[in-house]
Structures are given as C-alpha cells and as structure tokens.
C-alpha cells in the first residue's frame, strides 16, 4: 500500500484531505452498490459499454421467455392432436365394422352416427385449441406448406392362379381425383371396376376389363394382371389422392434473440376434418366403407406428419433455449466492466482513510505551529 505524506503546507494538506474524502465517498458508494461505475465521471467509455451489454443481456432473457411460451403452445397443440389421433383410430374401427355385407341398413346407420359424432368432436377440439387466444390447430396458423403431387397406391391385391396380382401397376396424373377403386374378377374372367369419389361419396362403374389390359379413369391409370374365370372373387383396391396446391397460411413468429431479426416461426397443421380430408365419411355400405378406410388412412398420415412437425419444433425450441448462452455471457462481460471488485475497493478505501488521517494530522500540526509562532512574535510587537 502506498500512501503519500503531505508536507507542512496547510493548503496542500487541506487539498489532500478533500481528495481523500472524495475518494472515500466514491469507494463507499461502490462497495455498497456493487457497481464500480457509480457515475459517468468514474469511467465515461466504460459506462457506455456497460449499459449496452446490460441491454443486450436483458433482451436475451426476454427472448428466452418468448421461446418458453412458444414451447408451451406447441405442447398444448401436441396434447390436442393426440386426442384427435385416438378419435381417428375409433372412426377407422367403425369403417372396418361397416365393411361387412352381413350388416343391416340400421347397423350401418348406427355406425355412421358414431362416426359423425367423432368427427364433430375432432372439429370441436380443433376449433377450441388455442394458446392465449391464438388458434393452434384449426388451420389459421398452418404456415407455408409445399404442394404435393397426386398419388395412387394399391392397398389390397389378391394373387391370381397365374401368379400375378389382380392389378400389376397404378399411376396418378395431375387429373387424378381423390377416391377408391374397387377391382373384382367376375365369373366371366373380367375385372369389374368401380370408383367411389371422396368428395361426393358417389360410386360409379368404371367398366369391365380383360386380363392384361389397362384403363384410365379420373386421371388414374390401372394396369391389370393375368386372371381368368377361375379367379372369380379375387379383388384389389386402389386408393388415390388428388394433387394438393399447398397453402400460404401465416405462422406464429416469436423473437428468439436479443437483436431485431432474430425470430423463430412456429406453424401448426390443420387438424380439422376438412384439413384431414374426412369431412364426408360414408359408412352406409361396404364400398363406401372401403373408401372411408382410405380417407382415414390418409388422415392419419397427415396427422402423423403434423405431430412430427410439432415434435421437431419442440426440439428446435428446446435447443434454442438451452443454447441461448448470450444472456450469461453478456451479463458476465457487463459485470467485469461495471461490477465492483470488492477486494480492490476495500484496499483502496483503507488507503484513502489512511491518507485522510495523515493529511488531517499534518494539517493540525501545521495549524498548531502557526499558532505558537504568532504568540512568540506578539511579545515583540
């Protein structure tokens, strides 16, 4: 510790006392407040840097709160889609039960009523699921989804006596509509084809076709295998899905960083019956029930994709939250600039106290010496 000892000059000693008192006041304020920069006069440039770092740190903390809220919203949506997944499985079971030629009309009507009730429940869940007033799974915040091409898939294909399938291949085109083709070999050895449209639930006879031939109906081409009259009763089912133009719905955006432009978007799939493609399930007869199974299968696929998207968004948000170390780093940097070094401040305070005491003592001695000199000189006046 280095302490300057003032000379006997009273003016110098007084200045030393004042300087020590000012230093003590500053050091006391630093020690009690925990801040080294108690005013702009202490460190002008340091104060500017400190304030900027503090603002950045607080902004990062607030962004972390945004990420947490977004994660909560995604969790709410995941819970709702899980409930809808259960309802879809129940509707699928009803469609399988309706695909039974031994059912009476009243049996299928009862199954239809249950399916309709479940579909209404799905729409209610989709419309009422929200987070702080923001709709989640009704399609309002589905975000941009890319267009998809039309598809055609053979979901059932019996093997004929010749060793091939009733259907050997299918292909979709831009003109393909959504529906179900039912192919059955009749007693004459031809394949009778019907098509049930998803939109209208109307079943149309597409024609009767010979083995090895092909046909194109509503944009879908079907190639037939080798079969004969001995294969009567063999069947195949082809499920088709029309092309989808995609959507340009908005997504929910949250600021996930301290700086402008550091945002994250969260989107939620449309889980209504319209969005899932099951708004007109028909279980009135086996053909319609078969078509309904195809619709429900596509709906489950779409919902699974939506749930996978929510899962990916949950992981992304969690990663951003866990890796958002900007706040800690910024706070640490600000503290190193603006925070009080307690040990150093204590040492400086002790030094200033000693300096003050010495300066006061010197000043008192100087005043005393001056008083004796004046008394001595007065004798000779």
In order, the DSSP letters of 188-252 are TS-EEEEEEETTT--EEEEEEE-TT-EEEETTEEEEE----GGGTT-EEEEEEE--B--EE---E
More confident of the two residues 137 and 351: 137
More confident of the two residues 96 and 9: 96
Please check the confidence at residue 135 and state whether its pLDDT lies above 90: yes
| Beta-carbon contacts of residue 377 (< 8 Å; ≥ 6 apart) | none
Q: Structure tokens of 197?
A: 């449209």
Per-residue pLDDT of 29-44, as tens digits, reads 555 655 655 544 455 5
Please check the confidence at residue 46 and state whether its pLDDT lies above 80: no
Give the CA distances from residue 148 to residues 107, 115, 215, 292, 339, in Å, rounded to whole numbers and listed in that order.
Answer: 37, 28, 24, 21, 58
Q: Structure tokens of 303?
A: 């919902």
How many CA atoms lie within 13 Å of 122's alpha carbon, on the beta-carbon side? 30
- With bands split at pLDDT 50, 70 and 90, how would you rate the model's confidence at 323? low
Cα separation of 19 and 124, whole Å? 76
* 3-state SS class at 156: strand
Choice among 5-9, 131-135, 239-243 with the minimum mean pLDDT: 5-9
Other CB atoms within 10 Å distance of the CB of residue 40: 11
Phi then psi dihedrals of residue 328, to 5 deg: -65, -45
% the chain with pLDDT above 90: 55
Q: Environment class of residue 93 by beta-carbon count within 10 Å: exposed (0-12), middle (13-18) or buried (19+)?
A: middle
Amino acid 184: pLDDT: 97
- With bands split at pLDDT 50, 70 and 90, how would you rate the model's confidence at 122? very high
Mean pLDDT of all residues in the chain? 81
- With bands split at pLDDT 50, 70 and 90, how would you rate the model's confidence at 1? very low
- With bands split at pLDDT 50, 70 and 90, how would you rate the model's confidence at 350? low
% the chain with pLDDT above 70: 69
Please check the confidence at residue 343 and state whether its pLDDT lies above 70: no
Q: What is the DSSP letter of 6?
A: P
CA angle 13, 19, 20 (to 5 degrees): 90
The DSSP result for 16-74, as a single string, is HHHHHHHHHHHHHHHHHH-BS--STTT-HHHHHHHHHHHHHHHHHHHHHHHHHHHHHHH
Please check the confidence at residue 5 and state whether its pLDDT lies above 50: no
Per-residue pLDDT of 238-291, as tens digits, reads 999 999 988 888 899 888 777 778 788 899 999 999 999 999 999 999 999 999
Phi then psi dihedrals of residue 99, to 5 deg: -85, 65
Give the CA distances from residue 265 to residues 67, 256, 258, 268, 336, in Å, rounded to whole numbers and listed in that order.
Answer: 10, 9, 16, 10, 35
């Amino acid at each position: 510790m280095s302490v300057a000892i003032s000379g006997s000059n009273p003016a110098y000693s007084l200045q030393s006392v004042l300087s020590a008192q000012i230093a003590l006041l500053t050091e006391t304020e630093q020690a009690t407040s925990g801040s080294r920069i108690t005013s702009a006069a202490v460190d002008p440039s340091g104060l500017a840097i400190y304030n900027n770092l503090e603002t950045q740190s607080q902004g990062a903390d607030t962004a972390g709160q945004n990420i947490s809220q977004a994660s909560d919203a995604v969790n709410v949506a995941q819970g709702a889609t899980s409930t809808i997944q259960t309802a879809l499985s129940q509707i699928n079971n009803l469609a399988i039960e309706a695909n039974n030629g031994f059912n009476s009309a009243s049996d299928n009507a009862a199954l239809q009523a249950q399916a309709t009730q479940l579909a209404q429940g799905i729409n209610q869940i989709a419309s009422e699921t929200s987070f702080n007033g923001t709709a989640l799974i009704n399609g309002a915040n589905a975000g941009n989804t890319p267009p998809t091409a039309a598809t055609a898939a053979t979901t059932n294909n019996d093997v004929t006596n010749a060793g091939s399938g009733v259907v050997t291949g299918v292909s979709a085109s831009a003109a393909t509509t959504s529906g179900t083709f039912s192919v059955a070999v009749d007693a004459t050895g031809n394949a009778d084809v019907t098509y049930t449209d998803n939109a209208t639930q109307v079943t149309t006879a597409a024609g009767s076709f010979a083995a090895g031939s092909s046909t194109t109906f509503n944009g879908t081409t079907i190639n037939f295998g080798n079969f004969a009259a001995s294969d009567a009763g063999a069947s195949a089912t082809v499920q088709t899905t029309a092309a989808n133009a995609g959507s340009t719905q908005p997504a929910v955006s949250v600021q996930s960083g301290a700086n402008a432009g550091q945002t994250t978007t969260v989107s939620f799939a449309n889980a209504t019956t319209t969005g899932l493609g099951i708004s007109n399930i028909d279980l009135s007869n086996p053909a319609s029930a078969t078509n309904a199974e195809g619709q429900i299968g596509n709906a489950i696929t779409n919902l699974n994709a939506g749930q996978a998207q929510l899962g990916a968004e949950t992981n992304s948000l969690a990663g951003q939250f866990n890796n958002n170390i900007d706040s800690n780093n910024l706070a640490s940097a600000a503290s190193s600039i603006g925070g009080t070094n307690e040990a150093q401040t204590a040492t400086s305070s002790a030094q200033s106290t000693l300096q003050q005491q010495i300066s006061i003592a010197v000043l008192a001695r100087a005043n005393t010496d001056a008083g004796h000199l004046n008394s001595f000189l007065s004798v000779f006046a």
